[in-house]
Amino acid sequence: MSGIELCEPRDLYNILNQHWLLPRLAEPNYLCLLDVRTQREYDESHIITARRIAQSPTGKYLVPDSEELACVRYCVVYDCETSSLDCGDSDEEKGSTFSDSSSTSSQNAEEGTAVRYAKGLEQFTRHPVLVLQGGYKKFSACYHFLRTQRILWMPRELASLQTYPVEILPAKLYMGNFKQACDQQIQKDLKIKAQVNISEQYTTLFADSDRYLHISVPDTLEADLLSSFATICHFIDAQLDHGAVLVFSSLGISRSSTGIMAYLIHSCVFSLKRAWNYVLKCKTNMRPHQGFVKQLLDWETKIYRTTVTDISELNY
């Protein structure tokens, strides 16, 4: 069995907003998001792309297509507000409330419904089944703009879906691309109060120069970002006192992730390796090139007066 794990709302937010050439939500085997609340609650509002679990005539929850579950990268289950994995049924209770070798409660609003359902799915998945911590209540409080009443999505609609910048520090620090940085609705939804633009392009969305830092560098091996790391870190620290900050570059993959890792090393006491793994979890296709990685290593050495990370262990 693959097991079950808790999934922070921020983790699901970042899963929903992974993007390369197209949103990853457009991939059929990327995310299976399952809502085990009541039909009324689901119809009123649910997380974008979620589908409600069907029930048998006797009220037992049904297992989705097991072949689909075997192929999916992320299987996430949520109910109203389950916050712990300790509220599921005991082994003796399994089978009585879950149709077709599954186990759950017949009352959606009951604490622990998602855990009990997840335990019935883990036998079908290659990766751990994720239970959304705090359920729909906590997620929707943090990310109200990802709520919807829509049930069906065509593939072309998912392919054209506007994704949001990934969240690095909860409600404080985000990393995205140039298009997202120019979208006023995204800035409003995320309460972005300042921007760090690490690209050669310029945007006038933030007219106040006190809230906008532009580091104009190309994404080349010869480009120098090291000399700007201190400026970037001090700007972010100062602006976080006033609200959320968005760090972005053209594609949101190389220069912006370099700036973010420089900040984590400087202000969050991360080693380069820890910062790398942390940002990679938030943005799975982040890839600073070799020149920027060497500059980050020099930055780590400068901050801690010793080299902590062996960059040969980093996949870049």
Residues 244 and 299 in one domain: yes
Residues 17 and 151 in one domain: yes
The whole-number pLDDT of residue 89 equals: 52
Say whether 112 sits in a helix, a strand or coil: coil
Residues 8 and 123 in one domain: yes
Residues 144 and 216 in one domain: no
Q: Would you list the DSSP string of 250-312?
A: SSSSSHHHHHHHHHHHHHS---HHHHHHHHHHHSTT----HHHHHHHHHHHHHHHSS----GG
| pLDDT of 129 strictly over 70 | yes
Residues 124 and 205 in one domain: no
Phi, psi of 123 (to 5 degrees): -70, -15
Question: What strand order describes the sheet that includes 166-169?
Answer: 166-169, 173-177, 244-249, 192-197, 212-214
Provide the total of helices (H) and of strands (E) in the chain, helices listed first.
Answer: 12, 12
Say whether 103 sits in a helix, a strand or coil: coil
The whole-number pLDDT of residue 95 equals: 45
141-171 tens-digit pLDDT: 999 999 999 999 999 999 999 999 999 999 9
Structural domain of residue 78, as residue ranges? 4-159
CATH no. for residue 208?
3.90.190.10
Residues 152 and 41 in one domain: yes
**Domain C-terminal end among 125, 159, 193:** 159
The whole-number pLDDT of residue 100 equals: 45
Residues 172 and 230 in one domain: yes
**Domain C-terminal end among 159, 190, 223:** 159
What confidence tier does 41 reach under pLDDT thresholds 50, 70, 90?
A: very high
Residues 62 and 189 in one domain: no
Closest CA relative to residue 61, chosen from 5, 7, 120, 3: 120
Residues 45 and 149 in one domain: yes
85-126 tens-digit pLDDT: 986 554 444 444 454 433 333 443 456 889 999 998 999 999
The whole-number pLDDT of residue 64 equals: 82
What confidence tier does 312 reach under pLDDT thresholds 50, 70, 90?
A: confident
202-217 tens-digit pLDDT: 887 776 778 999 999 9
Residues 117 and 232 in one domain: no
Residues 199 and 77 in one domain: no
Q: Which of 91-95, 240-244, 297-301 shows the lowest per-residue confidence on average (mean pLDDT)?
A: 91-95
CATH no. for residue 80?
3.40.250.10
Residue type, 43: D
Q: Which of 109-113, 238-242, 307-311 shows the lowest per-residue confidence on average (mean pLDDT)?
A: 109-113
**Domain C-terminal end among 135, 159, 183:** 159
Number of structural domains found in the chain? 2
Residues 99 and 206 in one domain: no
Residue type, 12: L
Question: What is the spatial distance between Cα 116 and Cα 101, in angstroms, rounded to a whole number?
Answer: 12
